Each structure stands twice: as C-alpha cells, then as structure tokens.
Amino acid sequence: MQQTLNQTSSRREFTVADEYQYDRRSPVRWIISHIMRYPLLSVIAIASNILSNASIAYGAVLIGQGFDLINQPGITSADLRSLALQVFIFFAGLGVFGVSGAFAYEFIAQWVERNTREEMFISLLGKSQTFHNRQRVGDIMARATNDVQQLNIMINPGIGLISDALFSIIVPIIAIGLLNVQLLLVPILFLIVFSFALRSYAIQLGPVSGQLREQFGVMNAGLAEAISGIEVVKAYGQEQSEQRRFLDNARRYRDLFVVQGRVQAQYLPVLLFGVALGLGFGHALLLFRAGVLTQGDVVAFMGLMFLLLFPTFISLFAFVLVQLGAASAERILSIINTETELDENAAGVSQPMHGELVFENVTFSYGDGSGAPVLRNISFRANAGETVAIVGQTGSGKSTLTRLVNRTYDTTEGRVLIDGMDVRDWSLQALRSQISTIEQDIFLFSRTIGENIAFGVPDTTQAQIEQAARDAQADTFIRSFPDGYDTMVGERGVTLSGGQRQRLAIARAFLTDPRILILDDSTSAIDSATEDEIQQAMRRILHGRTTLLITHRLSQIRWADRILVIQRGELVAQGTHDELMTSSADYRRIFARYE
C-alpha cells in the first residue's frame, strides 16, 4: 500500500510510478516512516524485547523463590524439579525471544538500507543539471554509501539495543514493585539520575556525530576529486600537495573521533549504577532485618537490580550509533529535500516532433536569475529540417543556448518553442527523447561498446547498433578489438582515443533517431580524413532533422542553412555564409580566425 505524506520537495525531472512516499518533514519522522513500512516486523521486534525481558525478570524471581523453598522443612525432590523446570523454561524463552527479536531488527535494518538507497538514487535522477553542477561527487557518494549504511547500523544494533534496554528498565522495575513496593526507592532514584545523565550525554554527543559525518563527506569528496583528476595531478607534479590535503582532512576526521571518545569517557551512568547497587542491597538488608522481606526476596531483588546493568552499560555505545545514524539521516534528507528547478511535467505535450525551433527574446542567467545574463534577448527561427550553425568566441554563450532547447536549463526571460509550443509545456520525457546532443566532452559508461551505443535505445537490435556505428565511421575500429562490440570501455572511456569516443557518441545519437540534433564541436578530436567520412554520413542522416551545430570547422559552417553569430551573449548577426561575409564584420573576424 502506498503511503501519502507531505514532502518538502515536489518538483522533479524523473519519477517512478507507485513510488512509496515517506514522511520527509524531519529526519526522525523520515526514519520512523521507513521503519513503519514493515509494521509486522516492528511488532515482532518490540514484542520479542518485552517477552525476553519478562522471561529473565521472572527467572530471577523464581531463583529467589528457590532460596526460600530449600530452607523450608519437608521439601521434596518433586518440588525442586518443578521449580528447576520453570526456571529452565523461562530462560529458554529468553533465548527464543532474543533470536526472534534479532531477526526482526536485522530484516528491518536491511530493508531500510535498501529502500533508502533506492529513494536517494531516484531523487538524484530527478534533480536538475544545475543541482548536480553545485555538488561534489565524492560527498554525494559518501551520503549514498556510507551514510545510508549508517542507517542500517543505527537500527541494528543501535535502535534494537536501545529498545531492549528500555524494556530492561521497565520490566525489572515492575517486577521489583510486585515483589515489594518499598524496594522501589533506590531503583526509582537511580532511574531519575540516570535519565538526566543520559540526556546530558546525548546532548554532548549530538554535535560531534554531525561533525563526524560532515567531515567524512569532505574527506571523501577530496579523495574522489584527486582520483578523478589524477592525470592533472601527475602532469603538474602535485602528488605531495594532494597528499597533504588528504592527510589534513583525515586528521580532522581523526580529531573528531578523539572528541567523541572524550565524551564517552565521561559517561557517568555506569558509576551511578555501582552506587545504586550498593544502596539497593543495603536497603534490602534493612527490610530483611525488619522482617519485611524473606531471604529469597533479597536474592530476587538483587537479581532484578543486576538486570539494570545492561541498559546502563549498553547506552554507552548504542546512543553513539543512533546519533551517527540521525546525523546521516539529516545529510541524506537534505539532498532528497533539495528543491530542483525543473519538473518532468508528465501531463505535458507528448507527441512526435516536426522540429521547428523558435527562440523568442530569450534571456538566461545561471542560478536564481539575479546574476549577469549569459544570454540576452536572443531571437531566431530554425525551420524543421534546417541546419543552423552557431559561431562565436569562447565563452560567448553558444553551448548554453543549445542547453535551453532540451531544458537542461530554463530561460530566465522569453520562450523557447518547438513546433509552436513552449518547451516547458512538453512532457520532459517526450521532449528529451526526441533531442540528441553530442558534445566535445564525451561521457562513456564503464560498459561494453555495444551497450554505450545503445544507451538511449536499450531495446535495440545488434544489427541496428552496428548500422549506427557504420554511419558514424566507428565500425572498423570497433571490430579491430578482440571482443568487438563486447569490448569493455573503461570509466569515462579512458581506454579509447578522443576520436574514438566521439564516433561512439555520434553512433549513439544516430541510433536514437532524434528530430532535433545538437552537435557541440562534436568532431573536434577527429582527424581530417575520418571527419570527411563522418560528414558524408552526417549529411545523409541530418536530412529532415533540425540541427544546431557549434563548430569551428569551415566545411561544416559553409553547408549550414543559416549561421548565428553570438558575441558576449548577444545575437549580433544571422544569415547564410555569403550574406554574413558581406554584412557582418564580427563574422568576417571569426571566419578569418578559423581560416
């Protein structure tokens, strides 16, 4: 059954049908909503805690009764056997209930970890590109792996031990009261002082736990950046500098552990328990001398008092696990609840595109739109099937302009229209599935070459994959590998040359059969001979598609139907090559530089 609760973040670029909705109003509510997804396991866990503690408490009472029984005249072997059997049954029950409780908590912990990973991954898929541009990958990975695992540990053994400890206090206190209400004096005083000491301990521990999780994220992010940029590190001989940076982060992480250890070293409840045990024994002896208690009552009372040692001692590290888990939950939830800029608009326009593209007075600024505009008042039309080249100096806003087409970003002012409809009115899935982008910085996954080509169309056939590769002039080099299309590509395609990566990206775009194709300097790493072969294939495949072409290749600029000249974020001229050579000094300067 799906649970419907308020959420802080509602806009997402990607959602899953029938996704379970958790209460994300606070970390505590969120954790509880995860646990309560499995109410039967929760009932089994708590019932097992109660019954196991009741078993051991009643076992202590029976042992006390045994001391009174053996001092009675006329005691028979049958009486002793009956009492021994009762003690055996209750302590055996302790084992059975303890095992059932452990199983329940472990299942809950594993399910919560699994579900949290799924929830966070779906959330990350739904975030906008602007969100991901602001994040450090290492910190995100720390939250998605270590912090999520910390939730597992928080539940089992953390919450499991605290729940067991709670009933290890409640049940013995009740049993002591049933034994003799006067015996409650010392246990109740101990419980009051213990509560204040535990609260102080938790208050001191909370900030340290949060800082520990934050510092782990910082350390992990630094490590990930150093490894990702290892080529740059080695090229500039900065190994020692990166080593010092990592050691500084690791030292701060270690120092926080020392602070945590200092807080734990000042844990007072164990000392308080020792004092309470002595006072309780003295009080019981006074009541025995007064004839209020029997010898067996004193033994039973001391047995019940010793049961309070477990919650006193176990709180020392169980609260650490819970505090670390709570800090991890807060870090995870802060990512999940972060508002994203775009919405998938599932109910929007979802139909085949013709490809007519219109920019109407488009202005764009990064962030919240309050900064300096990257693009200002851009207006142009690309008819369906036309190829429009975009030229301009580095940093003039050419790539940013193309990213407004598939809503990687949304305009700050003005509109981008496809087939006469604002791109914001399209279903995001329908919009992006009909637009393909090939950029200069090619990303390939750590999968086979065939899987990388088929990434946008996972249900495609091998024959279609190979045809796309032939169209992109990639088939020959792919077949030169021993495993052909089954060759594994290293992370980000590091095992391939720049030209090979770009040809695979072009093949991937061809296979998606887009109505709008964006080529962002996509042939920059390809030699001239290969480029000629690819351009012949591209001109065949681009027929009937609307294409935005960012390039410095004169051959490609010349066969564009229209050329846009962008300077410092403004459209300063547009027309054919011949028209611009006559009318635009800016274009002549750019063309001369390319030439």
pLDDT band at 38 (very low <50, low <70, confident <90, very high): very high
What integer pLDDT is reported at residue 525 of this predicted model?
55
Mean pLDDT in residue range 330-342: 89
For residue 552, is pLDDT > 80?
Answer: no
Read off the pLDDT of residues 427-460 as tens digits, 9 standing for 90 and up: 998 999 999 888 877 888 889 999 999 998 888 9
595 pLDDT higher than 60: no
User: What pLDDT, in 10s, does the model give residues 247-298?
Assistant: 999 999 999 989 988 888 888 888 899 999 999 999 999 999 999 999 999 9
Structure confidence at residue 2 (pLDDT): 42
Concatenate the DSSP letters of all residues of 208-230 into one string: HHHHHHHHHHHHHHHHHHHHHTH
Lowest mean pLDDT among 54-63, 389-398, 498-507: 498-507
pLDDT of residue 366: 84
The mean pLDDT value for 509-519 works out to 89
Instruction: Report domain 357-594's class.
Output: alpha beta
Mean of all residue pLDDT scores within the chain? 88
Nearest to 380 by CA among 564, 173, 593: 564
Dihedral class, residue 213 (left if φ above 0, else alpha if ψ from -120 to 50, else beta): alpha
pTM (2 d.p.): 0.83
Q: What is the pLDDT of residues 119-149, one digit of tens each?
A: 999 999 989 888 888 888 889 989 999 999 9
The pLDDT assigned to 7 comes to 43
Residue-range domain boundaries for the chain: 27-336, 357-594
Please give the CATH topology (third level) of the domain spanning 27-336: ABC transporter transmembrane region fold (1.20.1560)
Contact yes or no for 412/369 (Cβ under 8 A): yes
Helical axes 462-471 vs 498-512, angle rounded to 10°: 120
Percent of the chain surpassing pLDDT 70: 93
**Res 221: pLDDT:** 86
Residues 45-104: tens digit of each pLDDT:
999 999 999 999 999 999 999 988 887 787 788 888 888 898 899 989 899 999 999 999
Instruction: Quote the tokens at residue 15.
Output: 């959602």
Average pLDDT over residues 550-561: 80
pLDDT surpasses 50 at 530: yes
Q: Please compute the mean of the pLDDT values over residues 152-169 and round it to a whole number.
A: 94
Tens digits of residue pLDDT in 317-328:
898 899 899 999
Per-residue pLDDT for 363 more than 80? yes
Residues sharing a CB contact under 8 Å with residue 31, sequence separation 6 or more, in sequence order? 112, 151, 154, 325, 326, 329
